[in-house]
Amino acid sequence: MTELFPKTHTVDIAGEKIALPIVKIHDTLAISLLMVIDMGVKFGERIGAAMAKRFAAKQPDIVVGSATLGIPVAIELSRHLGLDQYVILQKSPKIHLGDALVEQVKSVTSAGSQRLLLDRQAIKLLKGKRVVIVDDVVATGSSMAAAVRLVRQAGGDIVGIGVILTEGHDWRPVLGDDAKLVTGLGHIPQFKIANGIATPDPATEADAVPAH
């Protein structure tokens, strides 16, 4: 496999510069990859505190995150908001999820289609409550849109959507009016590949005007 140049992309996440590896998706597309579960405890604490500052005024009752990479985000935001309970949307059919609420998902980093599942036992935790949904990155918007649908099926009132990073702008039309609920701690572009060189796609930069 031909190596890409540069190998990393530096992004500002809540005021800290972090070099993320650039990973090839296919012959002409690459992304910079954030693996939050490999970033350490202090990183988790910092993003939790940064998100809490942004969402405290919304007075959420509970935080919802998606497995797997949204789990540490949900835990740290809950901790910094002083909330004990949180809800995790699962992607694999555990034995207790036989009658779960289900939504279909397509992801940039995962092959094929997936499912997002909400345990019916968690409905009582969400019904009539002010909810913040979190994940590590929003890219296509498919996973986040599925999470939004599940929370609303459960009767939750979504007051905010928090992500560590927004990637490009494809997620905006997918989320529609809910895109205005999204708060990110940083932004990453997508990259065009030509002759082994990965160049940020101007249309996916933070200040680009999204196409509709």
- Which pLDDT belongs to residue 195? 94
196: in domain: no
Cα gap 178→156, rounded to integer Å: 14
198: in domain: no
CATH code of the domain in which 90 resides: 3.40.50.2020
Phi-psi region at 50: left, alpha or beta (left = phi > 0; alpha = psi -120 to 50): alpha
Per-residue pLDDT of the chain in tens (212 residues, 90 and over written 9): 568 999 999 999 999 999 999 999 999 999 999 999 999 999 999 999 999 999 999 999 999 999 999 999 999 999 999 999 999 999 866 656 567 788 888 766 555 678 899 998 999 999 999 999 999 999 999 999 999 999 999 999 999 999 999 999 999 999 999 999 999 999 999 999 999 999 999 999 988 755 44
SS3 95: helix
Phi-psi region at 196: left, alpha or beta (left = phi > 0; alpha = psi -120 to 50): left
24: in domain: no
Which helix (H) or strand (E) segment holds residue 51: the answer is helix 41-55
pTM surpassing 0.85? yes
7: in domain: no
Q: What domain range is 147 assigned to?
A: 40-186
- Which pLDDT belongs to residue 110? 59
How many structural domains comprise the chain? 1
140: in domain: yes
10: in domain: no
Angle between helices 71-81 and 41-55 (to 10 degrees): 60
Q: For 61-108, how does the pLDDT look when each residue is reduced to its tens digit (9 = 90+)? A: 999 999 999 999 999 999 999 999 999 999 866 656 567 788 888 766
